Amino acid sequence: MPRYELGELFCGPGGIAYGAVTASIENPDYKIIHKWATDYDRDTCRTYTNNICPNRLKSVYCKDVRDLDMAGLAEIDALAFGFPCNDFSVVGERKGINGVYGPLYSYGIKALEIFRPLWFLAENVGGLRNADDGRTFIKILDDMRKAGYVVVPHLYKFEEYGVPQSRHRIIIIGTRQDLNITYRVPSPKPYSSVNNTCRNAIENPPIPYYATNHEFTRQSETVIQRLSYIKPGENAFTANLPPELQLHVKGARMSQIYKRLDPDKPAYTVTGSGGGGTHIYHWSEPRALTNRERARLQTFPDDYVFCGSKESVRKQIGMAVPCLGARIIFEAVLRSFAGISYDYTEPNINE
C-alpha cells in the first residue's frame, strides 16, 4: 500500500503534517496523505486546517484528546503524535509522567492499539530521556513495543539536516512487528553543505513587508538601549551591560534571555512560551524577530498562514516540528517501505 493515510494526535499547526504531505521519494507512488488530525487549541486547528486540508474542514477535530471518541475516527495506515512536552522540557518543572501532560502519551498508545497502523512517528523534547531518571522514557518505549511495534528512537539534531536552527528532538519511528520492515535513521551527511545560517534563512529571499504574520514588535526604549550593548551571540548576562540595564532576576540566567542571533550560525531554539527577553533577537536590528522570521527558522514556507493573535501565533510556531526535518524523516520511512536504500546512521539518544 504505497499511499499512507495519516492520522495525527496533538497535531499542532502542521509542521509534521506539512513534512508528511510534501515528502517525495524516487518512487512517486509512495505518498503520505492527510486523513484526520486533532488538537485542543482552536487557533492551532484553524492554522492546520487552512494550510493542510482546506477542502476537508471536518477532518480536523478541535477537542481535548481525553474527550475524543477515538474509536469513531476513520481508519488510518500511519499515525503521528507529538505528545505534549511540558512535563519533560528542561524549561518546565520536569514532572515527567506524573505531571498533567506526561500521561497524554498513552493516548498515542491507545491509537496504536485501536488502528494498528503500519507505522508511526512520535515526537518529544530531548529532556524526555532524563525525566524521572529515565524511567519514563523506558516505559514509553516498552508500551510501544507491547502495542506490537519495533521502535527506533533517535535524538535528531535538526541543524545537522539543513534546518537553520539548533533544535534537538527525540523522534521515535515504529514499524509494525509483523511487517518485517527495517527503518534506519537518515544520515545528516547529505546536508552538510547546506547554508543553514539564520541570516540566510531570514534574508534569502527577503520577506515582503506585506507578508502575513510579519508584524514588528514595538520595543521599549529600555530594550532598545539594552540590545545596543549586546553583540551577536551574546545574551543579557554575557554582554557588558551598564548597571542600569542589567537584569536582576533570581534564577533566570537562561541563555536565551535577550540573546541576539549569530548571523553566521543556525538560530538557537525557537520556543513557544516565555515572557520578555525570550522572543529571539535580530543580530543587528534592535528588535525581536517577527513571527514570519521565526516561521522561516522552522522552515515553514512564506505562504503558510498562521491564525490567531500575535502571541498565539508565536506559541504555535515555537511548538511546531520543523517542516524540513519532518519531511526528511518521512522520506526515510517511505524509502524503508519501498525497499529503496539510503544513507543512514546508527540511532543515538545521547547528546
Instruction: Look at residue 89 in the predicted model and tell me its pLDDT.
Output: 44
Cis peptide upstream of residue 205 (ω within 30 degrees of 0): yes
> Quick check: 118 pLDDT over 70?
yes
Cell, residue 347: 540511532
* pTM, rounded to two decimals: 0.93
Work out the number of other CB atoms within 10 angstroms of the CB of residue 252. 13
- What is the pLDDT averaged over residues 1-22? 95
Query: pLDDT tens across 28-77, in order?
Result: 999 999 999 999 999 999 999 999 999 999 999 999 999 999 999 999 99
Query: pLDDT tens across 200-254, in order?
Result: 999 999 999 899 999 999 999 999 999 999 999 999 999 999 999 998 876 555 6
Instruction: Look at residue 251 in the predicted model and tell me its pLDDT.
Output: 59
| Known catalytic residue at 85 | yes
Instruction: Look at residue 272 in the predicted model and tell me its pLDDT.
Output: 87
Largest CA distance in the chain: 65
Rounded CA separation 9/11 (Å): 5
Work out the number of other CB atoms within 10 angstroms of the CB of residue 2. 12
**The one-letter amino acid at 35:** K
Burial 145-170 (b: 16+ CB within 10 A, else e): eebebbbbbbbbbbbbbbbbbbbebb
Query: pLDDT tens across 79-106, in order?
Result: 999 877 544 444 444 444 454 445 788 9
Catalytic position from the list 11, 45, 85, 198: 85
Tell which residue, 30, 5, 62, has the closest CA to residue 336.
Answer: 30
- What is the pLDDT averaged over residues 277-281? 90
Query: Going along the chain, which residue ranges are E strands?
Result: 3-9, 31-39, 60-62, 78-81, 119-125, 149-157, 168-176, 185-186, 344-345
CATH topology of domain 3-192+321-345: Rossmann fold (3.40.50)
